[in-house]
């Protein structure tokens, strides 16, 4: 017996399970090496970003002597990044299979299977939570995003579900003859005879459901963004915008810009899961004629690279995607409550100006200084003495004193009451 056969026998004796050690060709090992490298880059990217977020929180605590209340969007993103790290860790374990030139079933194989399932399902549910929040804020016009407590509860439910699915599945099948998690040719995952049923029901169903939900939720979001854009263009062309119109459009433009940036996450998710889903579907449909390894390796590399894409996108859009509140994305823009108070004050100012102008007109009519037939009839002139022109200025002041409305009422001994604006 040669050394390779002796090693295989030793591994079989140690784990008492099947293995494919020594069966991989150079091309397969090279393809799996690319998977491991992509997984390492993804894990490093996500780890650096999580460390940066933690450092920012510590820095805030040192400056303000209190912890910063996280936004719900930040809570969802941290959960998503954590799931990406778990997913990348499962890919890194494949470096052991490269060393053995095949998959060896055992505790490490089981660990890779669990991490793989937890990461995949966690990422899918995290993407759905972001999509629902974006859809609610943009399409349903939620007055505010969910509170941080609600976001923490949602994240806790996601992780509890993910942990329970893996542990219960492992416990139910633990004493059966065939291991539940094992060799699936190129890595470890749910193996036959439960490969099709549990593989689809406990993992790929969530991935496909997340992809479908993203399409259904982000189509109306995209239409709303496009509709707001064209309305804004028409408003600019038509002119005559009021301060409230500008405030509203500024707020909607900010929210839509953030919604567009958030919509890139589901787009990345759809791009990364589609090739692997096609590969798995081909394998499920025809186990005796699986897809070529080069397609499987490409789809796996793209799938494991989602952590890199999300970390990069998160870093580029961070100023807009981690606000203290959903209505303050630039740091200087007013919150929703401040916006409402400003609108009420501006409206009250204009109403006061209108009432003041009417009171002035009534006073002039009652005192006999001048009077006018409102229907355009004959004018009644009052004795103004030496006063030839009287000007009355009425102003309504908004919060910013930017849109003062000034009305001049001119009264002459030889002319009717008229208003100049």
Classify residue 347: in a domain, yes or no.
no
Give me Rg for the CA atoms of the chain. Answer: 34
Co-location of 113 and 244 in the same domain: yes
Write out the two tokens for 107: 């505790």
146 and 218 inside one domain:
yes
Q: Is the pLDDT of residue 348 over 50?
A: yes
Instruction: Please tell me the distance from the alpha carbon of residue 253 to that of residue 362, in angstroms, as a whole number.
Output: 43
Assess if residue 351 is contained within a domain.
no
Report the number of distinct structural domains present in the chain: 2
Q: Tell me what pLDDT residue 377 has.
A: 44
DSSP state, residue 384: -
Range of 23's domain? 17-333
Most confident of 166-180, 222-236, 286-300: 286-300
In a domain, 12, yes or no: no
Q: How far apart are CA 16 and CA 276, in angstroms?
A: 31
pLDDT for residue 420 is more than 80: no
Give the separation between CA 205 and CA 27, rounded to whole angstroms.
Answer: 31
Residues near 65 by beta carbon (within 8 Å), at least 6 away in sequence: none
- Residues 258-277 have a mean pLDDT of 82
For residue 139, with 0-12 CB atoms within 10 Å meaning exposed, 13-18 middle and 19 or more buried, which class applies?
middle
Same domain, yes or no: 228 and 376: no
Condensed to tens digits (0 to 9), the pLDDT of residues 117-161 reads 999 999 999 999 988 888 887 787 776 666 788 999 999 999 999
Same domain, 298 and 367: no
Where is average pLDDT lowest: 116-120, 163-167, 224-228? 224-228
Residue 381 reports pLDDT greater than 60: no
Give the start-end residues of each E strand in 76-166. none
Q: Is residue 64 a contact partner of residue 57, using CB atoms and an 8 Å limit?
A: no
Tell me if 9 is assigned to some domain: no
pTM of the model: 0.68
Both tokens of residue 17?
């399970």
């Amino acid at each position: 017996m040669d050394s390779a056969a002796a090693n295989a026998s030793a591994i079989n004796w140690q784990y008492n399970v099947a293995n494919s050690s020594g069966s991989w060709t150079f091309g397969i090992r090279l393809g799996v090496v690319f998977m491991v490298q992509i997984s390492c880059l993804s894990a490093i990217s996500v780890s650096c970003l999580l460390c940066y977020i933690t450092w920012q929180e510590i820095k805030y605590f040192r400056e303000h002597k209190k912890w910063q209340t996280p936004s719900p969007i930040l809570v969802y993103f941290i959960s998503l990044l954590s799931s990406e790290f778990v997913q990348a860790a499962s890919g890194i374990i494949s470096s052991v299979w490269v060393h053995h030139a095949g998959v060896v079933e055992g505790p490490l194989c089981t660990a890779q299977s669990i991490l793989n399932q937890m990461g995949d399902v966690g990422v899918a549910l995290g993407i759905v939570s972001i999509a629902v929040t974006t859809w609610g804020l943009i399409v349903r016009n939620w007055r505010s995003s969910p509170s941080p407590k609600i976001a923490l509860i949602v994240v806790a439910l996601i992780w509890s579900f993910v942990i329970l699915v893996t542990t219960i599945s492992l416990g139910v099948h633990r004493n059966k003859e065939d291991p539940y998690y094992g060799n699936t040719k190129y890595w470890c995952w749910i193996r036959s005879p439960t490969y099709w049923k549990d593989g689809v029901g406990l993992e790929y169903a969530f991935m496909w459901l997340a992809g479908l939900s993203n399409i259904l939720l982000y189509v109306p979001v995209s239409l709303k963004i496009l509709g707001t854009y064209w309305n804004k263009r028409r408003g600019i062309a038509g002119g005559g915008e009021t301060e409230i119109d500008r405030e509203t459009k500024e707020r909607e433009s900010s929210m839509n810009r953030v919604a567009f940036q958030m919509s890139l996450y589901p787009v990345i998710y759809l791009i990364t899961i589609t090739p692997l889903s096609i590969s798995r579907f081909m394998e499920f449909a025809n186990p005796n004629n699986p897809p070529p390894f080069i397609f499987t390796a490409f789809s796996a590399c793209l799938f494991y690279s989602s952590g890199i894409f999300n970390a990069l996108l998160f870093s580029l859009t961070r100023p807009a995607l981690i606000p203290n509140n959903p209505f303050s994305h630039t740091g200087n823009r007013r919150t929703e409550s401040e916006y409402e108070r400003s609108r009420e004050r501006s409206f009250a100012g204009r109403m006061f100006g209108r009432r003041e102008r009417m009171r002035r007109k009534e006073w002039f009519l009652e005192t006999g200084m001048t009077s006018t037939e409102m229907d355009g009839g004959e004018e009644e002139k009052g004795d103004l003495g030496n006063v030839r022109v009287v000007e009355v200025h009425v102003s309504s002041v908004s919060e910013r004193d930017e849109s003062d409305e000034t009305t001049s009422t001119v009264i002459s001994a030889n002319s009717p009451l008229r208003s100049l604006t």
